Chain A
């Protein structure tokens, strides 16, 4: 199923109305936001299949709460909060899965315009971060949320956001090869 054209621009979503209208509104929102949510979920999980499952559950919970979200501009934040909290649940992460199925969803081949190693270095650091620290990094540096917004989404203090982000940057500083360090790259230009 290909994404539909973005027919909802800015304040285009209207809330309320009949069940049919409600479902249509939700469906439209879901189609529009699904790719974005999937990308965030993938950065959180590092696995496409798990990310898809995470997004589907998050959207289902959003659907159940659709009438409770009074402000349309709050929808993105609301579903993002569901997404990260669902991901942080030990119930989801604690299991060592016994895989019985043989079907594997192939990861798409990455085409990197400047595959000089930085991408891998960043990704390796992100993948080794503790779960909540990883969520902080994704929300702060991918979703571009403020420290306060990140804290609110994760239900933690701003101070914790700062310390988690700082540790992640320190880890990146330690593990990024010298010749790929931003300062060196700048000097090379």
Chain B
């Protein structure tokens, strides 16, 4: 037996050496290697903060505060103290809205994508998300069917594709992206840095239950959910050290995670009348910080101070109202509500634009636009409203990774 084993080892070694003997020569010179090293070093510096600062600046528009004074949302300025009792209530309507700045985040139209700093770029297909890749100057994208992550060149030409299940998630400055992909022997949760490939992480899973990325819970931790073939849900944390931990607790599903504080939003109850309860857990997922049955929670703001919320009853026709809660306490901070009379507004595709502003798709009658909603209760248009064919998709939509949470 051992002899046969040794012979096979010998055969294997000889076969490999024989095959490798075909390959020789040198093809790259020192300047070529040094050039690639320079590129890698630059990306590492970007990852270390240089490029992140630029990204923060890019996605930090000016917003009108409650006092009407223009102030910046830049992270290097101290945030104003939140009012302790004030709840700002605003009626959702397209009537007499002022026109604000264009969205500071990209949005999609039937023709292509509109970038904050570059106007409309026509696309060959209806992409569902677009994330700049500092690594190669290209883009990561989600394909039209939302079942593939695409690798695009700088001019949006497709250069690669990877199967995806459950959707793409990104952190606020989009230096990190994550998704789940099937492999030959199971599935892998992939965390990819768009600025430094050395920061990439992978977690391997068996073929079932299905694993989906949910969000970034603090530095280096990735929140994921599992969906069994019987429909059962689980919630887990994938850690930087390569381990995964399933949360204990009878939760309905994971909703979102806060990259800044590590807090986790989960749905705790789902009732027959379609109402639900939600909770915010501490970063370890072991302690409930607060729970509510008045709202269904959504995404955390980039600075982690607030969390979006909607009606606890989901009708399937979009959100009846949109609220902003204090992420630490659950206190209601701002509420955008339907008018008592007149036409209802359908709000869908909600995304944080900055620490204190939200961009949302809105449809009132046949008119559609993108709104900017401020944590201070302000409401304005960001694009010119258009008439929307009722049989067509909305004329504007936001990237899948940005509107996660609901």
Contacts and interface: CB of A to CB of B under 8 A. Distances in A.
Contact of A144 (B13, B28, B39): B13
A3 B161 contact: no
B20 A142 contact: yes
Interface string A171-189: 0110010000011001000
Interface stretch (B69-77, B185-193, B276-284, B345-353): B185-193
A94 interface: yes
Contact of B11 (A1, A89, A122, A144): A122
Interface in A17-40: 23, 26-27, 30-31, 34-35, 38-40
B9 A48 contact: no
A96 B148 CA distance: 11
Contact of A1 (B21, B26, B160): B26
A32 B25 CA distance: 10
Nearest to A182: B7
Interface residues of A, number: 59
B151 A95 contact: yes
Contacts of B39: 60
B386 interface: no
A63 B33 contact: yes
B271 interface: no
B353 to A, nearest CB: 29
Nearest to A48: B23
21 contacts: A34-B28, A40-B20, A60-B36, A60-B37, A63-B37, A89-B202, A90-B202, A91-B192, A94-B162, A95-B161, A96-B160, A100-B159, A112-B18, A118-B15, A122-B19, A130-B184, A141-B9, A141-B13, A169-B9, A182-B8, A182-B11
Contacts of A42: 19-20, 23
B159 A98 contact: yes
A160 to B, nearest CB: 13
B125 interface: no
A93 to B, nearest CB: 9
Contacts of B28: 34, 52, 55-56, 59
A135 interface: no
Interface in B320-345: none
Contact of A97 (B29, B157, B160): B160
Interface residues of B, number: 51
B22 interface: yes
A173 B8 contact: yes
Contacts of B181: 90, 94
Contacts of B184: 130
Contacts of B27: 1, 34, 38, 52
A142 B11 contact: no
B11 A118 contact: yes
A138 B9 contact: no
A119 interface: yes
A56 B24 contact: no
A56 B32 contact: yes
B89 interface: no
B200 interface: yes
A161 interface: no
A71 B14 CA distance: 31
B158 interface: yes
Chain A to chain B: the 6 pairs with minimum beta-carbon distance, closest first = A122-B15, A182-B7, A95-B160, A60-B36, A60-B37, A39-B20
Contacts of B159: 97-98, 100
B16 A126 contact: yes
Given A42-B20, A90-B183, A94-B162, 20 more contacts: A30-B33, A56-B28, A56-B32, A56-B33, A60-B39, A63-B37, A89-B202, A90-B190, A91-B190, A91-B192, A91-B200, A96-B161, A108-B23, A118-B11, A122-B19, A137-B16, A142-B17, A182-B10, A183-B4, A183-B7
Contacts of B151: 95
A123 B18 CA distance: 10
A158 to B, nearest CB: 17
Interface string B151-187: 1000001111110000000000000000001011100
Nearest to B153: A100
